[in-house]
Each structure stands twice: as C-alpha cells, then as structure tokens.
Amino acid sequence: MVPLSWYLIFAAALFSIGLFGVLSRRNAVAILLGIELMLNSVNINLAAFWRYGDVRLMAGQVFAIIVFAVAAAEVAVGLALVISVYRSRRTVVADEIDMMKW
Amino acid sequence: MNFISTHLLSTILFFPAIAALVMLFLPKEETKLHKWYALAASLVPFVLSLVVWFNFDPSQPGYQFEEMYTWYTAIGSSLHLGVDGLSLSMVLLTTLLTPIAILASFSINDRTKAYMILFLFLETGMLGVFMAIDLLIFFVFWEIGLVPMYFLINQWGSANRNYASLKFMIYTMGGSLGLLLAVQLLGVLFKTYDLQTITAQWSAYTAPIGGISASTFKAIAFWAFVIAFAVKVPLWPFHTWLPDAHTEAPTAGSMILAGVLLKLGAYGFLRLVLPLYPAEAKYFAGALAFLAVAAIVFGAFGSYAQTDFKRLVAYSSVNHMGFVVLGIAAAAFAAGTDDARIALNGAILQMFNHGLSAAGMFFLVGVIYERTHTRNLEEFGGLFPLVPVYGGILIFTSMASLGLPGLNGFISEFLVVRGSFGVGVNSVPVMAIYTAVAMLGLLFTGAYILKGIKKVLHGPMNEHWVHGEHKLTEINAREIIVMVPLMVLILWIGLYPSWILNVINKAVVMLF
Amino acid sequence: MTTETLIWLIPLPPVLAFFLIVLFTNKSKALSHTIGVGAAALSFIGSMVVFVRALGVEHLGEHPFESAINWIPTGSTWFRIGVLIDPLGAAVLFFVAITIFMIFLYSVGYHNYGQPAGDHDVKGLPPHGATIEEHGHKHVVPSVEPMYSRFFAFLGLFAFGMYTLVVSDNLLTLFVGWEIMGLCSYLLIGFWYGKPSARDAAVKAFMTTRIGDVFMLLGIAFLYSATGTLTFREIFTEETLRALASTPAWFGMTASGLIALLLFIGTVGKSAQWPLHVWLPDAMEGPTPVSAMIHAATMVSAGVYAVLRMFPLLTADYGEHGLTVTMSIVAFIGAFTALFAATIAVAQNDIKRVLAYSTISQLGYMIAALGIGAYVAAAFHLITHAFFKALLFLGSGSVIHGMEHGVLHTGNHHVDPQDMFNMGGLRKKMPITFWTFLIGGFALSGFPLVTAGFWSKDEILADAFGHGHMAVFVTLAIAAFLTAFYTMRQITLTFLGEPRTEEAKHAQETPWTMTTPLIVLSVFAVTYGWVGIPEHFPLLGGLIPNWFHDFVGHTLAEVPETPEFSWIPLLTSLVVALGGLTLGWLYYRNVKSVSEDKFQIPLLKNKYYFDEAYNFLFVKPAYWFAENVVYKFLDKGVIDGILHAFGPSTQGFGSALRNYFDLPVINRAIGDGSAEITYWFGGKLRGIQTGRVQQYLVLALVTFIVIGAALFFFVLA
C-alpha cells in the first residue's frame, strides 16, 4: 500500500501549485481556480488521514464534504463578484481592481 | 379571571404601560384612534381600582391585595405592591383623573400618538409610587413619573415651555437626590428595602453610623426625605417651579400635575416621613408647620397678585397643599391623639379634594384658553352671558376650591383647621397661632377666587368676544363630560364625606 | 310623618328647586317660578306644621325635637349632625318661613313676569323696558327680567341655606347654611353682573363677611377642640359650660369668652355690624327682593340668630361682677352700630340705602341687647324686625317699580327711580304700597302700642334700664329717636306732599303678586307685637299673656326674668318715637329739593368715609403686598433669584472645568495626542496598501512564514 506520506507530498504539491496560481495569475478567474486547487489539496489530506486513521470515525469524510460545499458556495460568490466587477470596470485583471487602497 | 383577581394591583399598575407599548404599533396618522384607544386603556385601571375599592376591607390592618415578585435579590429589593386606606384613595384618584385628563386632551391634534403614550406611561409611574411598599421601587417610580411629564410640558406646552419644563425636571430631580442617598443608606443598613421591615427597625435604631450618632444621622436623613417631598408638594419656599410648570403645561398636563403629581409629595410625607421618623417629625414639626403656613398665606397672596388666569389657579395649589402639610405637621406634633387623627383625615381628604377641584379648575382655564388663546384676566370680562353653562360650572368649581361649605374643600379644610387648632389648644400652643395665621390665607383664598370669577365672568361684556371670528363658543358636550364626574364627586364628598373618610379614618387610626 | 323627619325635609324643597331649575327648566320662565314658589310653599307648610306641633309640646326647651346622624369619622368617634327645633328654633322658623314664601311670591311680580321680552335687554343688566303697539300707538312697558329663571334658582339655594341654619343642631351645619347664604348673597348681589358697581358690591359683600367667617371658623375649631362636640345641646350642659368658663385661654380671657368672641366676629360680618358694616349698603345693587331677603328676613338675621344660639356660651362666665369682657364688647359694638348707622341713614337719599342703614342700626339694637344679657328681648326684636323690615324693603321695591313705570312712560332714563327726592305724593298713585309702607315705617320707629316694633324695642330699652346699663340705654334711645326721624323723612319725601318729578306723577300701583306679600307682612308687623306685651305694662299688661317671653325663654336652662316695670324707659321710648316722627314730618314736608335738606352733611353722606379708609388701609395695601412683596419680590426675586443663581454658577463651574481641564489635558494631550500619533503611523504605513489582492496575499504569506519561523525558533525550540 502506498504510504501516507505520498499522499501528503502530493497534496502539498497541489497546494503549492494552487498558491502559486493565486499569487501570480493576473486573471481573477484564474485566481479562483487556484483557490479551488488549494481547497482540494486539503480534501486529499482529509481523506488520507481518515483512511490511515480509525476508519470508524467519519469526521474526515464529513469535513471533506463540508469543504466541497464551501468551495461550491465560494465559487458561486466569487464568480458573481468577478462578473459584477467586470460589469462595472470592464476588466477581470486583478492588478487593475485596486479600489481597496488608501 | 383568577389571574386578574390575584394580580389585581400589578394589572392596574402595568396595564397602562403595556397599552402604551401596544400603541407604538398603531398607525401614526390615526389621531382619532389614538385618542379613543388611550381613553379605553386608561378606563381599564379605573374599573379595576373600583373593584379594589369595593373589595377593600377598611377595618383590616396593614396592606391588602399584596403582591410580591423578586426583582433585585442581590440588594434585597423586590417588587412589593399593596394598598391600605391611605394609598387606595390616592390610587383611585389617579385612575379616575387619568381618563378624565385623556378625555380633556381630545382637542390636541399634534403628535397624538406620542402624547397619549406619554400619558399612559405617566399613569404607571404615578400608580407605582402609591402602590409600592419597597423603598427602592418607590424611588424608581417616583423618578419614572418625571420623564413623561417633562416631555409633555416640553413638547406640548405654551410659549415659555423650555424654561418651565427644565425647571420642573431639574428642581424635582435635585430635590430627590437626598432622598436617593437616604434610601440607599437604609437599604445598606438593613439589607432590605422592604418598607415594613425598615419601619419596624429604623425608628428604634440607635447605633452610630459611620462615626456619626444615630440621632444626628436621622435628622439629616429626615431632612433629605422632607426636602424631596417638600419640592413636590410644593412647600414654601420650594414652590416656584409649580406656577411655571402649571402655566406652561398643556391643559391635561396641568390637570394631572396638580391633581396627582403634587399628591406624591404629600403621600411621601404620610407613607415615609411620619412612620420612619416619628421623633424627628415631632421635633421639627414646628418648622414644617411654619413652612406650611407660609405656603398657605403666600400662596394665597401670590395667587391674588396674578393677572394670568392659569397662574392664578397654579398658585392656588400652593395655598391648598399648604393645608395638607399643616395637617401633617399638626399630626407630627401630637401623634396618637384624636386631634392628630382629625388633622390627618383632613390632610388626606384635602389631597383627594384638591385633586378634584384643581384638575377641574385647570381644565376650565384650558377650555377658555382654547377658545380665546389668551389667559390674561384683563382681556376677559363679562363673559357670563356668552357662556352661561361654562360660567355656572366655573363658579361651582371655584367655590369648591374656595372651600364653600356643602362642597368638598370645606370638609377637609375644616378638619385640618380643627385638628391643628386642637393640637394647639390641647398640647402645643404654637399650633394655635399657626392655625390662626393660616386663616389669613383662607381669607385671601376668597379674594383670589372671586377675583378670577369677577374678571372672567362678571362686569361689562368685552365686545371683542361677541362677534366675528373671536366669537366665544359655549363649552361643548365632551368638555361637560370631563367636568361631570369631578363635579359629582365634589358635591358628593361635600354632602356626605364619610364614604371616603371612613376608609381614610380607619387607615389613619391604624397607622398613626 | 314624625316631626323629626319633617324637620329634616324642610330645607330640601328649595335646594331641589335650585337643581331642577339650573339643570332642566331654566329655559322656561313659568316652569321655573312654579317650581321655585312651589318649593317655598312646601317648606312653608312644613315649617308651619312643625311650628304648630312645637307649640303643642310642653317643656319644649327640655325636650326639643331632635335627631342626628353620623357624618364625619374623627378618629375613634364620629362627628354627628342633625336637626333641632327648640322654642327659639321654632320661633325663628316661623318668621323665616313666612318671609321667604312672601319674597318668592313677590319676586314673580318684581321681575315683571308676563311682560314682553325687552327690546335691548341683555343678560346681566336690569331690564330696560319693551315697546309694544296698542291701539295704533307705541308705548313702553316694563320688560321681563332676562335671567328670570336663574333668579329663582338662586333664591331657592338661599332659602335652603337659611332653613339649614335654622334647623341645625350643631354649629358646623349652621356654618354650612351660613356660608351657602354667603355664596347666594354674592350671586344675588352680583345678579346684574354687567354693572361694574354690582360686581364690586358682590365681591365686597363676600369678602367682608368672609373676614368674620374665618374668625368664626376658628371659633368653631376652638370650641370643637375644647369640648369635643359642636352639638348645641351637648355644649350647653352645665358642666361643659363651667369647664369652659374656668379654663383660661389667651389674652386674659376664659375659653368660653374667647370662643364666644370669635364666633361673635362672624356675626359682626354677617349682620353688618361696625366695623364690618360696609358691605350691606352696597349690597343694595341687587334686585329688591334680594335686599329684602338678605337684609331683613334671613342672612343678617342669621348673625343675630347665631349669637342667640351661642348665648349660654356668651354668658357662661357671667357672674355678679358685671358684664364679662366679651359681653361688653358685644354690647359696645351693638350700641355703637345702632347709633352710628342711624346717623348715616339720615343723610341718604336712595330709598333702599336708607333702609340698609336702618337695618344695620336695628341689628345693632339686637346685638346690644344680647351684650347686656337681654336674650328674650333680642329674639323678640329679631322677629318683629324681620317682619317690618321685609315689609319695608318689599314696599320700597314696589315704590321703585312704580317709579320705573313712570320713567318708562316719560322715557327720561336719567331720573334715578330710587332717589327719594325724585318722588313725592306717591300715596295717591300707590295706595296699598303707601299704607303698608306706613305701617312698616311706624313699626320701625316704634309707634306706641299698636306696632310690633314698639313692643320689642321697648323691651330692649327696659332691659337696658332695668339692669343698669345706662350708657347702652342712652345710646339706644338716641338711636331710636334718629330712627323715627329718618323713617318719617323717608315717608314724607316718598309718599306725602306733591310729586316732584314727571316720573312720580306717572307712577303706578304694582300687581297683586307684589302687593299681597306687603299686606300679609303688614299684618304681622302689627300683630306680632301683641304676643310679647310685658305682664306689668300699665293697662294692657296681662290682657294677653306674655307668650313670647314664656315660650322662647324656655330655650335656656334658666328662664330669664323680666325686668321690673319702670316708667322711665317707657316714657323715653314714647318720647323718642313720637318726637322723631313729628320732627321728621315737620321738617321734611317743607323740603322740596336736595339743596334744601340741611342734613346732607358730607361726613354723613359719605358714611364717615369708611369705604375710602378701608380701601386705603386694607384693600390697596393687600393687593400691593400680594403683587409686589409676595409675587415680585419673594417669588420672582428672592426664590427664583436663588434658583437662577444655580444655573450660572453651575455653568461657571462647568466652563472652568472645560477650559482648564477638559480642553488642555483630556482633549489636547490625551485625545488629540493619541490621534496624532496614530495619524503619523498611518502616514508612514499607508505605502504598503496598494489595493492589489495578490500583493496582500504575498505579504500575508511572508508574515505568516516569518512569524511561524520566529515562533518555531523562539518558542517551540
């Protein structure tokens, strides 16, 4: 059986890719995609820990499902925001959306 | 039904307040609805207090219809309600006058919702003072009553209302600061605010407090109580807020102010000062009597000097309430004698009577003010032929205020005079002199009442009010309905006082 | 019905009439006067039944009709009120009932019932007459009083007050009736309130009597405090009186003396004795029936009645040492007033004012009699006087009414129908009025043997003489002379000679409703004297038993003795009465106008300037004191001054706190200082806020890593 650490390394890699995407992409939709990646890396961790821990405890799986729900909600809200910003400012470039400064 | 019968007093007490809260949800524009709703809401406590009155057993000592709810256990205060003959007559007066005052304010069309809500809250405040048997609760309601009154004067008053309302508020609150301290002191000493417990222990208390001897401390606390109540009564020389407040307040506000709020002060003397401080009261009774006589005489003179009709009536309150305090002072001198009891009977009945006649007088001044928009006596004159019904009612009510035998004022003034002169003859001669001097006030009562009638009704007719847009109209049916219960009671007490005096007398015999 | 129940009921019809008229029937004149007169008639019948039953009781003095109920609880006891008819009460009830009934009847005619409404009449002013067309030409007739119904209502209340006073068994309800009458006299004097003089007179009457009343109330309180009761029959027991007489009170008087004096001051006010007499002449502003009612039958008599009631108290410490202080004061005031008022009456020209002063003078007689202990004589004079003075007032009203007729006829409204110098020769025009007025006038003067006034006045003089009070005797004798003189002056000027004005020529006799009371009263003005002829009077004595003395005397525990008969007082009263009448006739039959009257002395004409003096000494200073001292100086100046000083001083304290603490320390140093520091920091740090989300994230990540590393190295490791 594949050892637990493989899953963890895989998840860490996925997380880093996601983080990189979030920090470096200029398109807001791409940033959202990066966030999704990070969330899913967490899900992998959760599933892995459940499988390698006490399988009778369902907490890990339940948490993973909650994360799905959160992710779905977040995408819905996030995309709505992006569309809203696009409508008012005609752009989805993150650097150009800089209203939140002094 | 069972709930109401066991919670009769708290229902009476809180019904107006709850009704006021419900009133918040009424639409703002429905002026008529506000008025009728408020009237109906204030009639409920009246009916219930009649139930209390008829189920009350005057010969049973102590409080009846008692109710007790925990309120603030940490400092030993509880919502303890109850009535005896003394407070019941005042409760009845309050619940009677409130609907009358609300009916009297049907002519108000400006922000009726807020107005009526304040009135209902005011009723709860006043009733609470009369029903409380817990010092802290007493104080809380004492102060609650001020707030609606302040706004009533401040928002619906006449020209000088800001000055008057501020003076009223600051003066009364300032006066009761000492009361608050003294109440706190008693609460700290006895770990409870229950009036009966405190009364039982406080007069026998002799240990020094904070390094000061008990007698000095009691004397100071006595004056703290007295000043708070003296401002409210008002006793000379604390009376100057009253003419201002009365004059500027809206008509119904003056009715309640004179009819009930002043009684709170006198009630405080009877409920707290005399039972808590019998020795001090006796020691300082001379000073109290002096101030009372000053109030009687200067009140009458002050009234005689006025050219403003409403102010004249306002000063008459100083004069009449002076008799209440004179009776109380006489009773303090000779507690336990029949003279003292007669004086107290007179004082309490005078409270009730003044509530009726002063409310009536203020209302009548309001009636003519609404029509003429002036209160200056010099601008009236010879109005009797224009408004015969109004004139008749005015003369009747004035005569009650003057103390004409056959009407209520005479009975109470006679009892006070008899009691205090009796104390003078039988124990403390100085009271005889005070009583004799008070007669001067009684004489000038006649002078100012007749001045009022003469300037308004008699004399050559002022043509200004006869024709055209200024034409004076007769008192209308609603206004007559306001006056009828007052007049009926005035006459009834004047002819056959024992239905109420019996209750008062039994309470007085048991209390003092 | 038992007599006691009946007595309770006597005062009720008039007061019910009052309420009925005020509340319901005031629109209908006929209904109102029917109710009013009917009520008076009911009370009259009730009174007569009581009176007759009282006559039938032997020893009524010891066993009067009485009944009482609990009224006011006073501590452990009750204050009881009730009714009492003893001989004095019965005698007084008799004349009160008759006069009141007559006055009600008279008022119907006096206020022109049945006449048309006036052309320009307004409420609050006397009617001015109405124009009617008859046989093609217009003429002016008297018009009906616009406030006709109201008059009967007030009259009813007044009657209630008087009946209450008479049937009371205690001082308090006596006082209640007393004050109700005071109110009614105020309302009735000010009946024509549109006249400034009437409204001032009304206030004056009320206030002057109230001065007496407050003293009386004090006396009542004193008596009640000292004895614990106000019921007459409980006070007038021997031990109570003795206890009161032996208790020293203030001013070196005994308790009984002081109480009696205080109560007497009430009488001074009510019965218009000097120095509180000033209201009564002014009270003539009221309609004439009012004058008669107030000044003859009821209110002023009530004052004397109260002293009669309190007589045992007044004389409680009366021993062998002559008069007590109180009695001397009473006698002095009475005698002085009798003379003093009589002198003023001589110089008055208003027909009603003469009678008003005459009333004051005659009341002085009674008071003087009481002061010297002549109880029965005073009561006797009270009753005879009530009859003939009511007669005179009603007669004068009839004269005025007749004169007004003349005034309406000529249309000259400048002629005062009350001025006697405008009259003259009315005997032919108004025969009934003349003859009855003559009887009344002769009774007032004490015309010997036939008139009631002679017998009562003679008894007072005889008493004064018999008990050796010479000063009182002489004063009263002079007053009696003056009385006869001014009465004859009045009769001569009014009725005799020739008419002095056109108006007097056209005067007319008044309707039956007015003349009937005159006739009835004139009968009593003559015959009532016969019930009190002294036993030892020459020739006539003993022909009719001295019923009055025997009956009323038994009110007291000890029946007073009649004085020994002496010729001196009898001759004196003969001389003064006949002399005064003769002189008055001789002098005034030749007087044609005011200027010829030598007795128009300014001092007398202006009533010794009492009104002016009182106005200057009391009324104005009182108002000045009230306005300037009490209101403006004390209240507005001192007390409000102190209060208002609180405002600025608090404000001063507050602004000092603000300027020297709040502003520099809290605002500048702490408040603004911290803000400035924060501002500086913010300025420095704002560069890192670019608004780019990704930069923030990088920053967060770096911070997280740095802090995480730091934690790892410094805490965990």
Burial of C616 (0-12, 13-18, 19+ CB in 10 A): exposed
- C577-617 tens-digit pLDDT: 888 888 888 888 877 777 777 777 777 777 778 888 888 88
Contacts across the B-C interface (CB distance below 8 Å): 171
State the pLDDT at residue C433: 87
Identify which of B146, B413, B163, B109 has the alpha carbon closest to the alpha carbon of residue B257. Answer: B146
What DSSP designation does C541 have?
Answer: B
Query: C102 CB contacts (<8 Å, ≥6 apart)?
Result: C390, C394, C516, C517, C520, C521
How sure is the predictor about C402, in pLDDT bands with cuts at 50, 70 and 90? confident
Instruction: Tell me: pLDDT of C185 over 80.
Output: yes
Better-scored residue on pLDDT, A56 or C549: A56
Q: Do the Cβ atoms of A94 and C693 come within 8 Å?
A: yes
Nearest residue on chain C to A26, judged by CA atoms?
C694
- At residue C191, the 3 state secondary structure works out as coil
**Which residues from chain A sit within 8 angstroms of residue C693, using beta carbons?**
31, 94, 97, 100
Q: Tell whether the model's pLDDT for residue C691 goes beyond 80.
A: no
Question: Are B458 and C640 in contact (CB < 8 Å)?
Answer: no
Instruction: Tell me which residue of B346, B339, B342, B345 sits closest to B320, measured CA to CA.
Output: B346
Q: How far apart are the C-alpha atoms of B238 and B298, rounded to whole Å?
A: 12
* Disruptive mutation site among C26, C151, C176, C181 for chain B (greatest number of B CBs within 10 Å): C176
Hey, CA dihedral for B319, B324, B328, B330, is it positive or negative? positive
What is the crossing angle of helices C375-410 and C351-371, to 10°?
180
Q: Mind listing the pLDDT tens digit for each residue in B247-265?
A: 888 888 889 988 898 899 9
Average pLDDT over residues C194-207: 86
For C511-544, the pLDDT digits (tens) are 888 888 888 888 888 888 788 777 777 777 667 7
What tens digit of pLDDT does each residue of C312-364 get?
888 877 765 677 788 888 889 999 999 988 888 888 888 888 888 888 899 99
Residue A101 is predicted with a pLDDT of: 66
**Cβ-nearest to C697 among A23, A97, A102:** A23
| C581, C487 Cβ separation under 8 angstroms | yes
Using the structure block, give the residue that is written with the tokens 């029946």. C559
Q: What is the pTM of this model?
A: 0.84
Query: Is the CB of A102 less than 8 angstroms away from the CB of C693?
Result: no
Q: Using pLDDT thresholds of 50, 70 and 90, give the confidence band for residue B1.
A: low
pLDDT at B106 over 80: yes
Say which range, B114-128, B261-275, C261-275, C609-623, has the weakest mean pLDDT. Answer: C609-623
Q: Does C482 touch chain B (CB under 8 A)?
A: no
Q: State the Cα–Cα distance between residues C43 and C524, nearest whole angstrom.
A: 19
pLDDT over 70 percentage in chain B: 99
| pLDDT reported for residue C296 | 65
- pLDDT of A102: 54
Please tell me the predicted confidence (pLDDT) of residue C699: 86
User: B140 pLDDT exceeds 60?
Assistant: yes
C694: nearest CB among A23, A99, A102? A23
Give the list of residues 6+ apart from residue B60 with CB closer than 8 angstroms, or none: none
Per-residue pLDDT reduced to its tens digit, B381-395:
778 888 888 888 999
Q: Could A22 and C697 be called an inter-chain contact, meaning their C-beta atoms sit closer than 8 Å?
A: yes
Specify the pLDDT at position C297: 65
Stretch among B43-52, C470-479, C531-540, C660-669 having the lowest mean pLDDT = C531-540
Is C124–B385 a contact, with Cβ atoms under 8 angstroms apart? yes
User: pLDDT, tens digit, for every residue of A82-91?
Assistant: 899 889 888 8
Q: Decide if C702 touches A, using CB distance below 8 A.
A: no
Q: Which of residues 215-234 of C touch B (CB under 8 A)?
A: 215, 217-218, 220-222, 224-226
For residue C416 the two structure tokens come to 């005062």
Per-residue pLDDT for C253 more than 80?
Answer: no
Q: What is the structure's pLDDT at C541? A: 67
Q: pLDDT tens, A3-45? A: 889 999 999 999 999 999 988 888 888 988 999 999 999 999 9
C242 in Cβ contact with C317 (< 8 Å): no
Mean pLDDT over B153-163 rounds to 86
CB atoms A95 and C697 under 8 Å: no
**Is C touching A (3+ C-beta pairs, cut-off 8 A)?**
yes
Residue range C393-408: mean pLDDT, rounded: 84
Higher pLDDT, C219 or C295: C219
pLDDT of residue B487: 92
| Touching status, chains C and B (3+ beta-carbon pairs under 8 Å) | yes
- The answer to whether residue C18 neighbours chain B at the CB level (below 8 Å) is no
Could you give the CA distance from residue B333 to residue B327 in angstroms, rounded to a whole number? 10
The answer to whether B134 and B194 are in contact (CB under 8 A) is yes
Contact B409, B401 (CB under 8 A): yes
Instruction: Say if residues C403 and C504 touch (Cβ distance below 8 Å).
Output: yes
| pLDDT tens, position by position, B412-452 | 999 999 888 888 888 888 888 888 888 888 888 888 888 88
Over residues A53-75, the mean pLDDT reads 89
Give dist(CA B322, CA B319) in Å, integer: 5
What's the whole-number average pLDDT of chain C? Answer: 84
Give the pLDDT confidence of B184-216 residue by residue, as tens digits: 888 888 888 888 888 888 877 777 777 788 888
Chains A, C: CB contacts within 8 A come to: 29
Q: pLDDT grade, residue C63 (50/70/90)?
A: confident
Query: Dihedral (C-alpha) B503, B506, B507, B510: value to the nearest 10 degrees?
Result: -170
The answer to whether the CB of B345 falls within 8 A of the CB of C74 is: yes
Interface pTM (ipTM) of the complex? 0.88
> By the 8 A CB rule, do C82 and C69 touch?
yes
- The phi, psi pair for B128, rounded to 5°, reads -60, -40
How many angstroms separate the CA atoms of B146 and B152, rounded? 10
Whether C153 contacts chain B with CB within 8 A? no
Judging contacts by C-beta atoms under 8 Å, the chain A residues touching residue C691 are: 97-101
**Regarding predicted confidence, which is higher, B5 or C663?**
C663
Q: What is the pLDDT of residues C287-308, one digit of tens each?
A: 877 777 777 667 888 888 998 8
Answer with the residue of higher pLDDT: C532 or C212: C212
pLDDT of residue A72: 92
Q: Assign C120 a pLDDT band (cuts: 50, 70, 90).
A: confident
Question: Bigger pLDDT: C135 or B120?
Answer: B120
Beta bridge partners of C65: C85
Name the residue of chain B whose CA is nearest to C186's CA: B450
Tell which wins on pLDDT, C539 or C697.
Answer: C697
Q: Taking CB atoms and an 8 Å cutoff, what residues of chain C touch A95?
A: 692, 694
- Band of residue B489 on the pLDDT scale cut at 50, 70, 90: very high
Beta-carbon separation of C206 and B450 below 8 A: yes
- What burial letters (b/e) apply to C482-498, b meaning 16+ CB within 10 Å? bbbbbbbbbbbbbbbbe
Rounded average pLDDT over C359-383: 88
Nearest residue to B122 via CA among B19, B33, B27, B26: B19
Q: Which chain B residues have a beta carbon less than 8 Å from that of C123?
A: 384-385, 388
- At residue C706, what are phi and psi to the nearest 5 degrees? -60, -50
What is the pLDDT at residue C706?
Answer: 94
> What is the share, in percent, of chain C residues with pLDDT greater than 70?
98
- pLDDT per position as a tens digit, B55-103: 888 888 888 888 888 888 888 888 888 888 888 999 999 999 999 999 9
A→C interface, C-beta within 8 Å: 19, 22-24, 31, 94-95, 97-102
